[in-house]
Structure 1
Amino acid sequence: MRTRFRAAELLAAALIVLLGTACGSRLPESDFTGPSDGPTRAGAGPLRVGIVTSATSPVGADAFTGPRDGAQAYFERLNARGGVDGRTVEVHTCDDGGSGVGNNACVHELVDEHKVVALVATSVLDYAGASRVSAAGVPDIGGQPVGPAYDTYPHLYSIYGSLAPRVGGAPGWGGRSYGGTEVYRYFKREHGARTAAVVSYNQSASAGYARLVTRGLRAEGYQVVTEQVDFALPNFRAVAADLKERGVDLVLDAMDTNGNARLCRAMDEVGARVTAKVTNAQNWTSTVAEDYKDAPHCRNSLWVTGSSRNYEDTDHAAVREFRDAMKGRKPSQWALEGWAAAQWFTDAARSCERRPTGTTRACVDAFMERGGPYSAHGLLVPVVFEHRAQPPQTRRTCLSVARWRDGKGWVTQGDMNRNCFVVPQLAYEP
């Protein structure tokens, strides 16, 4: 699949901070009803959707809220314009607190009590209720694939698509997912990168993700330098000095934002200059100048890759609409992807409102399963959902790329629909 390495990196930092926090207990099976088709046209009133967010998770208040904010902004604007064929969208949000028991409680509240027709823009640390969402036949549209749920269950549709069978049980293909090496290919082809460093903590989640990145880099022919720091007492200055000594031109990591900022500061202090310090879509935000205020050189070597159009690309009509609607909220790439998820649901609902039964869970799900790519009106690298019995060995993959420039923000690098590569798909266990 196009997304799995990228999805794995999104919340590697969250896993690091939690240091193996347990999922928590689960609600009794009896608390969840069986499949229901949800409200129909005859069921009256607004279309009810749910948004589950780990807004008060242990990794901080802003870590997961971008998709929720973007989706809410979209629905507010949609309702101001008359809703979906005259029906407003009634949004029910739930904060699961970043725990498994909290997530199950949110699923119960939204699916069984509010009887939402769909979930939209899910962004959670522990999607413990995913099997219950699937069993109820509720389409979950445009969620962030932090864990393996979106490659495991039917009716769940991540913002990045999936080729996995998704029949329940083991994720991916027999418990193994696959990811491409397009990010590493991009920097090798476009910027001549040859020596890459992977920096991680001496913690299992961080080290595991670092090994995954290292495999991908080596598959693309890089010379790889691995650096590990103590989670409790990291010596970033020593790492930075080694990066300079070895002539590293590309730096990737498996650390949180704080760790990245401290590494960048150390790189500036020792004079380590690189072609690119690569981060991910979760850190594609408007707070870079503040987060990296002590590292001007490293800050201006920050690059980011993803699967959606840069939220700074206001030359694009859909981005301009997003930015206008987000006034008063912090713009970010995850917020744009939440907006795209809400657009996705709306397009499904509009197709269903033309039918005698109106918008039902089954109809929305059928729209998601209809085949063919979806781009959210140009905001996403075209997304597909298939159910392949065997994983692909190679795949043509496209990516969105931007770099930070003081005074300009995130500057797009090339067309996301042309930054494309045929790359190997490497197996890993999620």
Structure 2
Amino acid sequence: MRQPCRAAESLLPAALLLLTLLLSAACGSRLPESDFESRPPAPTTGGGEPIRIGIVTGATSPVGGGALTGPRDGAQAYFAALNARGGVDGRRVEVFTCDDGGSGVGNNQCVHELVDDKRVFALVATTALDYAGAARVSRAGVPDIGGQPLGPAYDTYPHLYGIYGSSAPRTGDEPGWNGVLTGGTEVYRWFRREHGARTAAVVAYNQAASAAYARLVERGLEAEGYRVVTEQVDFALPNYRAVAADLREQGVDVVFDALDTHGNAQLCEAMDAVGVSVTAKVTNVQNWNENVPRDFKDAPRCRNALWVTGASRNYDETAHPAVREFRDAMAAHVKGTPLSQWALEGWAAAMWFTDAARSCTKTGLTRACVETFLNRPEPYTARGLLLPVVFERLPEPPKTRHTCLSVARWQDGRGWVTQGGDMDENCATVPQLGYRP
């Protein structure tokens, strides 16, 4: 019997850990939770009162103003469109946003403001570089729905539901299974299977977190039979030309990296300058947006070799009705905001909350009822925008998993073009590699 397809929950969030790790020194310290007054959770809402929702975003984080705001923008567009249609069973959704500045201190302050002062019913589309307030959110029993897993919180705490799902026990003690998470090799399998890639390069900074993530990528590539070329860039005085020259000398087919967006752009410029031609320069979901022509303006050849992989439907796949609905709402309610994959995932997170809330029509809207919907065994897909998402709480880490993959390639004049067919059929059973976040 064919195994059910589902999202690649582990490796892709591991890719998103990179920005957190690279910028950890800039994120500040954490306030002790005793600095906040403890208050009881918000009561059950009823009688046509607005439903209060909180969104935490690192809008002014060290990675730049627009780097983390996509999920917030997508969620706001969804709730604005929802309210225009009458809300949830006639009840308007009232959205409160908080900018945590990308720091643990700021995150704790946002949690205090939203959970204790505003007494929001739930959080939606959280995007926190340092989710220092996660334990407090969980302890208060506030559902956090569809957050971006930029750290291990969504594989650690109950009441937190990351956008890609989780198989971990989530007891609140340690991430994953006694501090171990797993990552799959589906991305590397895909490029090897579809394009015959055999030699892969991994480019990282000479910085501990970047190097650690690069080692995880190397392990995955080796497990899929690649010859792996490792390249290191000096974080303070990078020499991308030297790296690019070696990529050409080594005959690399595909390039992965543990760099930020600026480093990616510089590497691409160097690759164009020395004439490197590769099957794919694989970037991460943060770069899956319409700013590619601006961010990679000086690297036209490398720009058109950019590929992205993820666990949600390509926002440029306009033939899909749910994608069209998302794009129309973005144009109507958050005008001038760049389209991005993260915005689409924020939209899906808001839809997820709304579907959960509507499931409580007969019994009354309570947090327990909402979480019953989130924990149901049936996978959630947000009308086909997400690969199937479930929360399993497996007693042991899986050794293999049947996962599916959304793949797109940038093409000037066309944007992000879906590759490999429909994401729901773009699947493989791959090994799961353990790592400590």
TM-score interval, smaller chain: over 0.9
Unaligned runs of 5+ in 1: none
Q: CA RMSD in A?
A: 1.3
Contact 1:121 1:143 in 2 (8 A): yes
Q: Residues 172 and 14 from structure 1, CA distance in 2 versus in 1: closer, same or farther, beyond 3 angstroms?
A: closer
Q: Which residue of 2 aligns with 1:363?
A: 369
User: 2:349 maps to what in 1?
Assistant: 341
Q: Per-residue deviation at 1:360?
A: 1.7
Partners of 1:195 and 1:240 in 2: how far apart?
A: 15
Say which of 165, 169, 179 aligns to 2:169: 165
Residue in structure 2 matched with residue 382 of structure 1 by the alignment = 388
> 1:423 aligned to 2:433?
no
2:340 maps to 1:332: yes
Counterpart of 1:287 in structure 2 is 291
| Deviation at residue 112 of structure 1 after TM alignment | 1.6
Tell me: CA distance 1:369–1:116, structure 2 relative to 1, closer, same or farther (3 Å): same
Equivalent pairs, count? 426
Identity score, percent: 69
The residue that corresponds to 2:3 in the other structure is none
1:15 corresponds to 2:18: no
Contact 2:20/2:151 (<8 A) preserved: no
Counterpart position of 1:210: 214
Equivalent pair of 1:19/1:203 in contact (CA under 8 Å): no
Query: In the aligned structure 1, how far is the partner of 2:328 from the partner of 2:414?
Result: 18
Cα deviation, residue 381, structure 1: 0.5
Q: Is the 8 A contact 1:18 1:59 kept in 2?
A: no
Deviations 1:234-278 (A, max 9, x none): 100000000000100000000011111111011011111000000
Give 1:375's aligned amino acid.
T
Match of 2:156 in 1: 152
Aligned residue number for residue 43 of structure 2: 38
Deviation at 1:25, TM superposition (A): 2.3
Task: Check conservation: 2:27, 2:104, Cα contact below 8 A.
Answer: no
CA contact (8 A) 1:15 1:205 kept: yes
For residue 124 of structure 1, what is the aligned residue in structure 2?
128
Q: Is the 8 A contact 1:310 1:333 kept in 2?
A: yes
* Offset of residue 105 of structure 1: 1.2
**How much has 1:20 moved relative to structure 2?**
6.3
CA contact 2:33–2:136 (8 Å) conserved in 1: no
CA distance in 2, matches of 1:30, 1:265: 48
Report how far residue 366 of structure 1 moved. 1.5
Q: Is the 8 A contact 1:402 1:411 kept in 2?
A: yes
Q: How far apart, in 2, do the equivalents of 1:259 and 1:286 lie?
A: 18
2:138/2:159 contact within 8 Å kept: yes
Greater mean deviation of Cα atoms: 310-319 or 20-29: 20-29
TM-score, normalisation: structure 1: 0.97
- The CA distance in 2 between the partners of 1:21 and 1:344, in whole Å, is 30
The structural deviation recorded for 1:40 is 2.1
The answer (yes or no) to whether the contact 1:98–1:126 under 8 Å persists in 2 is: yes
Q: Cα distance, 1:2 vs. partner? A: 2.9
Q: CA deviation at 1:29?
A: 5.9
Give the aligned residue type for 1:408: R
Answer with 291-300 or 109-118: which moved more: 109-118
SS in 1 for 2:145: strand
- CA distance in structure 2 between the partners assigned to 1:170 and 1:145 by the alignment: 15
TM value normalised by structure 2? 0.95
Instruction: Map 1:224-303 onto structure 2 (within 5 A).
Output: 224-303=228-307
Q: Deviations over 1:354-393 (max 9, x none)?
A: 22xx212121111111222000010000101111111110
- Give the SS at the match of 1:352: coil
Whether the aligned pair in 1 keeps the contact of 2:154 and 2:162 (CA below 8 Å) is yes
8 Å CA contact 1:39–1:115 kept in 2: the answer is: no
Q: Deviations over 1:148-172 (max 9, x none)?
A: 0000000100000000000111110
After superposition, the Cα gap between the structure-2 partners of 1:19 and 1:128, relative to the gap in structure 1 and judged at 3 Å, is closer
Partners of 2:24 and 2:152 in 1: CA distance: 18
CA distance in 2, matches of 1:227, 1:249: 14
Q: Post-superposition shift, 1:21?
A: 4.4
2:423 aligned counterpart, secondary structure: coil
Unaligned ranges ≥5, structure 2: 1-6
Q: Whole-Å Cα distance in 2 between the matches of residues 67 and 339 of structure 1?
A: 7
Per the alignment, residue 4 of structure 2 pairs with none
C-alpha displacement of 1:330? 1.2
Q: Report the Cα distance in structure 2 between the residues aligned to 1:254 and 1:373, rounded to whole angstroms.
A: 31
